[in-house]
Amino acid sequence: MTIKLYDIAHSRAGDKGNTLTLSLIPYKPEDYPLLCEKVTADAVSHHFRDLVLGEITRYELPNLPALQFVCQQALSGGVTTSLTIDTHGKSLSYALLEMVIDNDL
Amino acid sequence: MNKSIRIGCGAGFSGDRLEPAVILTQQGQLDYLVLECLAERTIALAQKRKQQNPALGYDPLLERRIDRLLPSLLANKVRLITNMGAANPLAAAQVIVGIARRLALSVTVAVVTGDDVVDQLTGDEISLEMSQPVQEAGPLISANAYLGADAILPALATGADIILTGRVADPSLFVAPMVHEFGWSLDDADRIGQATVIGHLLECAGQLTGGYFADPSRKDIPDMAHLGHPFADVSADGTAVFSKVDGTGGSLNVATAKEQLLYEVMDPGRYLTPDVVADFTKVRLEEIGPNQVKATGGQGQSRPSTVKVSVGYNAGFVGEGEISYAGSNALGRAKLAGAIIQERLQDRFTDLRIDYMGTTSVHRTNFGDHPDPYEVRLRVAGKASTPEQAALVGEEVEALYTNGPAGGGGARKYVHEVVGIVSTLLDRDKTNPQVTLFQS
């Protein structure tokens, strides 16, 4: 069975220059291992292939638990010079939550 | 030592709402109120205002905020720390003194300067973003170093009611009063790491209490219209309990705190500020009561020997135009309009963006198949070197009324000047923070 990340996790987007940060926080801590397994940096790079030109790094925070994705060259130049509507990429948390994963470990 | 101090954050960006800070000051029993009003680009825009009028260049909402807050700040002995000085903290202090005189109040303002390092910049410094000299980006407007808590401490030591700064790292606005009150050493990296966690959680104000979080039925937040801003009770051992004023709207819980803890964090194990390289990976967040979250476990390593400098440059102009199509084949007509505009403007713009709002404009893509929307708004944006060239975009979009597809309505056009930002590093020794006092 497949599920959308939106069904099991929440996210907040942040920006520094042309770099986008995205947290991914499971509503239930017991879903954290599933996120670690399925939502790899490679999987997110594939999901964001039309948006993120640079490398995506994943950080694991088992204490919270949460994942943090740092996406380089993600904001069409960044808040100050981008021609896009959402120059900060503030809405892109919900682009991550559109990702579909297999719901089995 | 059993004492704790209470620090509130009443603004998380320049345009933030005024009322939550008023409520915090009147009812929050605060020791300190922080107003964080300087985003990456805000100070370069402020510098441009200062170039046009040397008496300006401070936060545009300074007068309104101080007018509302000053009487209750003084009556309740709440000390204000704010970066609303922006590009001109000395002029901002004079404005505050003027407001105090008009209200017959006695106030002391300590101004922290030294962040403006434009005179020290040669332009040859290497930009962190482009790996080439910063002057390659465009004509330079401003250069401001991120000062740290060490620059604010002497201002706090004067006993002033208001501490006014320009560019300071956001968490340092909070780290400074903790260090001042508890006598912590700035070399105690774990202590300063925890203080930085506290500052980071508070610095965006409403983003800790349900703002930028609410999602109906999934992440419900009560009474968003009266969203309260947060405060933290900090103990001498660095433990912090975050909460908000009773009766205000919003929620402060472990979920809102987790989102904010990771907000804009480029490496959770190495969060760089002028005060410390903070480690967020061991942070524990516990809900200890309704709207009460305890945070412990922030750590750190010694502060960097360099400070970040934010460099503003003139990046030309952007022209925009929008027009809407609705009903049957709205997307088809909008796309025809987009194709017409592309053909009419492509020779005059190297960088032109055409968006279909309602489909792929916000995420620049969409994921999967979606039914066509009932209405679509065409948006066109182009970069230009002059305002006249930028205006062509909106003029061509507006002309679609009579020279484009059927049923176009609600055209709008805009031109704005663009300020770009790049960053570079400066040796900490090259900054020279100073404190100047003003009294009403």
Backbone angles phi, psi at B263, to 5 degrees: -60, 125
Which distant-in-sequence residues (6+ apart) come within 8 Å of B75 by Cβ?
none
Question: Which residues in chain B are closer than 8 Å to A66, comparing Cβ atoms?
Answer: 258, 262
Backbone angles phi, psi at A28, to 5 degrees: -110, 125
Candidates A44, A61, A75, partner chain B, best to mutate (most B CBs within 10 A): A61
Assign residue A66 the CATH number of its domain.
3.30.70
Residue of chain A whose alpha carbon sits nearest to that of B313: A80
Q: What is the pLDDT averaged over residues B28-32?
A: 98
Domain with CATH 3.30.70.1120 in chain B: 311-423
Task: Categorize the per-residue pLDDT at B7 as very low, low, confident or very high, splitting at 50, 70 and 90.
Answer: very high
Confidence (pLDDT) at B342: 98
State the Cα–Cα distance between residues B196 and B202, nearest whole angstrom. 10
The answer to whether residues B103 and B436 touch, using CB atoms and an 8 Å cutoff, is: no
b/e per residue, A28-56, with b = 16+ CB within 10 A?
eeebbebbbebbebeebbebbeebbeeeb
Lowest mean pLDDT among B41-45, B62-66, B226-230: B41-45
Picking from B255, B268, B355, the nearest residue to A59 by CB comes out as B268
Residue B317 identity (one-letter amino acid): F
What DSSP state is assigned to residue B227? Answer: B
The answer to whether residues B283 and B190 touch, using CB atoms and an 8 Å cutoff, is: no
Angle of CA points B298, B299, B305, to nearest 5°: 130
Confidence (pLDDT) at A4: 96
Question: Which residues in chain B are closer than 8 Å to A92, comparing Cβ atoms?
Answer: 363
Confidence (pLDDT) at B312: 94
Question: Which residues in chain A are closer than 8 Å to B213, comparing Cβ atoms?
Answer: 12
Question: Which residues in chain B are closer than 8 Å to A25, comparing Cβ atoms?
Answer: 255, 258-259, 262
pLDDT tens string B269-301: 999 999 999 999 999 999 999 999 999 999 999
State the Cα–Cα distance between residues B84 and B165, nearest whole angstrom. 7
Residue B318 touches partner A, C-beta closer than 8 Å: yes
Residue A41 identity (one-letter amino acid): A
Map residue B24 onto helix, strand or coil.
Answer: helix
Question: Which residues in chain A are closer than 8 Å to B40, comparing Cβ atoms?
Answer: 16-17, 79-80
Q: ipTM of the assembly?
A: 0.96
Question: Which residues in chain A are closer than 8 Å to B215, comparing Cβ atoms?
Answer: 10
pLDDT tens string B105-158: 999 999 999 999 999 999 999 998 888 999 999 999 999 999 999 999 999 999
Angle of CA points B433, B143, B386, to nearest 5°: 155
Task: Categorize the per-residue pLDDT at A75 as very low, low, confident or very high, splitting at 50, 70 and 90.
Answer: confident
Confidence (pLDDT) at A79: 63
Question: Which B residues, 224 through 253, put their C-beta within 8 Å of a C-beta on chain A?
Answer: none
Angle of CA points A39, A40, A44, to nearest 5°: 75
The answer to whether residues B390 and B109 touch, using CB atoms and an 8 Å cutoff, is: no
B309 HSE (CA, 13 A, CB side): 30
Tokens coding B123:
């332009």
Candidates A4, A64, A98, partner chain B, best to mutate (most B CBs within 10 A): A64
Question: Which B residues, 259 through 298, put their C-beta within 8 Å of a C-beta on chain A?
Answer: 259-269, 280-285, 297
Confidence (pLDDT) at B118: 93
The answer to whether the Cβ–Cβ distance between B266 and A85 falls below 8 Å is no
Q: Percent of chain B scored above 70 by pLDDT?
A: 100
Would you say domain B311-423 falls under CATH 3.40.309.10?
no
State the Cα–Cα distance between residues B247 and B244, nearest whole angstrom. 9
Average pLDDT, chain B: 96
pLDDT tens string B389-427: 999 999 999 999 999 999 999 999 999 999 999 999 999
The answer to whether the Cβ–Cβ distance between B266 and A70 falls below 8 Å is yes
pLDDT at position B364 over 90: no
The answer to whether the Cβ–Cβ distance between A63 and B281 falls below 8 Å is yes
Question: Which residues in chain A are closer than 8 Å to B265, comparing Cβ atoms?
Answer: 14, 21, 68
pLDDT at position A82 over 90: no
The answer to whether the Cβ–Cβ distance between A85 and B357 falls below 8 Å is yes
Candidates B41, B136, B262, partner chain A, best to mutate (most A CBs within 10 A): B262
pLDDT at position A32 over 60: yes
Give the number of domains in chain A: 1
Question: Which B residues, 41 through 60, put their C-beta within 8 Å of a C-beta on chain A?
Answer: 41
Question: Which B residues, 151 through 190, put their C-beta within 8 Å of a C-beta on chain A?
Answer: none
Question: Which B residues, 82 through 101, put their C-beta within 8 Å of a C-beta on chain A?
Answer: none
The answer to whether the Cβ–Cβ distance between A21 and B269 falls below 8 Å is no
Strands B292-296, B79-82: pairing is unpaired
Task: Categorize the per-residue pLDDT at B2 as very low, low, confident or very high, splitting at 50, 70 and 90.
Answer: low
The answer to whether the Cβ–Cβ distance between A86 and B362 falls below 8 Å is yes
Domain span including residue A76: 2-102
Confidence (pLDDT) at A80: 67
Confidence (pLDDT) at B142: 94
Lowest mean pLDDT among B16-20, B221-225, B368-372, B426-430: B368-372
Count chain A–chain B contacts defined by CB atoms under 8 A: 118
Q: Distances in Å between the alpha carbon of B426 and those of B117, B175, B192, B267, B309?
A: 9, 22, 22, 21, 7
